[in-house]
Amino acid sequence: MADFAFAPKGDVRLQPYSGSVWRGAFGFALKRLVCVMRMRPCEGCPLAAVCIFPRFFGSDPDHDEPRPYVLAPEPTPPGGWVHAGQPFRVRLTLLGSAEAATAYVMQAVLDGAAHGLTRRRVPFVCLSVTSSGSATAAVAGRLHGIEPVDLQPPPAPPAVRLRIMTPLRLRLSGDLVTGRSLTAGQLIGAILRRARLLGVVVPAATIPSVREQARALAWAVTRFGWLETTRFRSPQHTTMQLGGIVGEARLDLRATPDLWPLLWLASILHVGKGASMGFGGIELHAE
């Protein structure tokens, strides 16, 4: 996990949540960095099996299969403006085998920011890069490794306040779940699916208990809303709406101890559609 601090060279207005624009800049820079086939489409490329780019974006960048990273910018300031020189933070988390590509990925994040964001291509200068909130990871232009993410949770609290910081997009039977209909069980189910698809081991012996406890779990207090943002799709030169649930809720965990490790996982891995660009970001506050 690495935390980047950037500052734009000029005033720039970002979406209410800017994950899609950072992901787009990162993807373009990563392909430019590693592609030896003159940026040809990945589909049908003879080097696709050995190239690192398809692992991060696939042959179809819009396909929403789990990716081995989370690129999560901080929430955009009220009004959307980030002013010249104002620090703006982006967190990068690499998962599983993606750690072998650390140097390429970190360089691509830097290159994408320097190339410029939004249609105005406003460059962002890197102020610092820190690894897991500790030692400096970028010194004199040389990049060091990212400290491993610790997936072991702390002891379970009796209750937790769960805050959905970035739009949570879950689909059931083809329809987006809203804040009014979201249940704690649906959230736990989505976390289980994401963990399984990313290869994160959840002990098989605990899964029946987890599912039973999830069905019985209910929100104690909820304050959910909806945050609408947009995504610009470069190949089609179109925009698409990307909304999701934000807000907070309280959970009493005294009768459901097996659910705490999954909630802790979600605070690191994110959950739902668009998780690789920071959607479905969750904060946990023990009570």
Q: What is the pLDDT of residues 190-237, one digit of tens each?
A: 999 898 888 777 777 778 888 888 888 899 889 999 998 876 665 555
2-143 shares its CATH topology with 159-286 = yes
Residue range 159-286 in CATH 3.30.70.1900? yes
pLDDT at 266: 93
CATH number listed for the domain at residues 2-143: 3.30.70
Q: What per-residue confidence (pLDDT) applies to 135?
A: 34
Q: Taking Cα atoms as reference points, which of 99, 103, 128, 98 lies closest to residue 7?
A: 128
Cα separation, 245 vs 51, in Å, equals 35
Across the 287 residues of the chain, what is the mean pLDDT of every consecutive 10-residue run? 95 93 94 91 87 81 70 94 97 84 93 95 95 42 55 88 95 88 93 86 77 88 89 62 91 90 92 93 94
At residue 97, what is the residue type? Answer: S
Confidence (pLDDT) at 90 = 97
Structure confidence at residue 150 (pLDDT):
65
Phi/psi for 186 (5° steps) reads -65, -40
With residues binned 3-state (H G I as helix, E B as strand, rest as coil), the percentages for the chain, rounded to 5, are 30, 30, 40
* Res 96: pLDDT: 75
Between the CA of residue 220 and those of 96, 181, 282, what are the distances in Å? 35, 15, 17
**Buried-state track 54-65, b at ≥16 Cβ within 10 A, e below 16:** bebbbeebeeee
Counting DSSP H helices and E strands in the chain, the numbers are: 6, 14
pLDDT of residue 209: 82
What pLDDT was estimated at residue 134?
A: 37
Domain assignments of the chain as residue spans, ordered by start: 2-143, 159-286
